[in-house]
Chain A
Amino acid sequence: MKQISHLLLGVAVAGMLIFTFLVPDAQLFMEPSLARILFTHVPCAFLSSIFIVSSAFFAGSFVRKGTDVAAAKMHASIELGTIFAALTMATGILFSKIQWGAWWHNDPRQISFLIVLFFYAALMALRGAYNDRGRMDRSTAWLSISLVLPAIFLMFVFPRLKFVEQKSFHPTRTIPEGQLDFAYSFGLWGTLVVLGWLALVIFSLRKRVELAERALDDNYGHDETGSRGSTADGVVRPVAVSKKD
Chain B
Amino acid sequence: MSSFFSPQVKACLIKEWRVEARSRQGLFVSALFGFMALAAVNFSTMISVPLPGLAAGLLAVILIFVATVAVPRIFLAEDEQGTFDLVRQWGASGPVFLGKALFGAIFQGAAGFILGLFYSGMIGVPVVNWPLFLVMSTLLGIASSNVLCLTSTMVMTASNRWVLASVVGLPLLFPLIFLGIGGLKVSFGDGGMEGAYQSIAALVGYAVVPLGLGPMVAQSLWTERRDPGQKPGLPQNKDRL
Enumerate chain A interface residues (CB-CB to B < 8 A).
Answer: 62-63, 65-68, 71, 115, 118-119, 121-122, 125-126, 129-139, 142-143, 145-147, 149-150, 153-154, 218, 221, 223, 230-231
Contacts and interface: CB of A to CB of B under 8 A. Distances in A.
Interface string B220-235: 1100000111110010
A157 to B, nearest CB: 11
Interface residues of B, number: 31
A134 B167 contact: no
A134 B228 contact: yes
Contact of A218 (B154, B155, B164, B231): B231
7 contacts: A66-B229, A126-B158, A129-B155, A135-B229, A142-B154, A146-B172, A223-B239
B175 interface: yes
Given A62-B228, A129-B159, A133-B229, A139 B167 contact: no
Contact of B150 (A129, A132, A146, A154): A146
Contacts of B171: 115, 118-119, 121-122, 147
Given A71-B229, A129-B160, A129-B161, A135 B221 contact: yes
B154 to A, nearest CB: 5
The DSSP consensus for interface residues of chain A is: helix
A145 B213 contact: yes
Given A115-B174, A129-B164, A134-B227, A142 B217 contact: yes
Contacts of B159: 129-131, 230-231
A115 B150 CA distance: 18
B209 interface: yes
A63 B220 contact: yes
B168 interface: yes
Given A146-B213, A231-B159, A66 B168 contact: no
Contacts of B3: none
Given A130-B158, A142-B154, A125 B167 contact: yes
Given A130-B159, A138-B229, A154 B168 contact: no
Given A63-B220, A66-B228, A134-B227, A129 B158 contact: yes
Interface string B63-107: 000000000000000000000000000000000000000000000
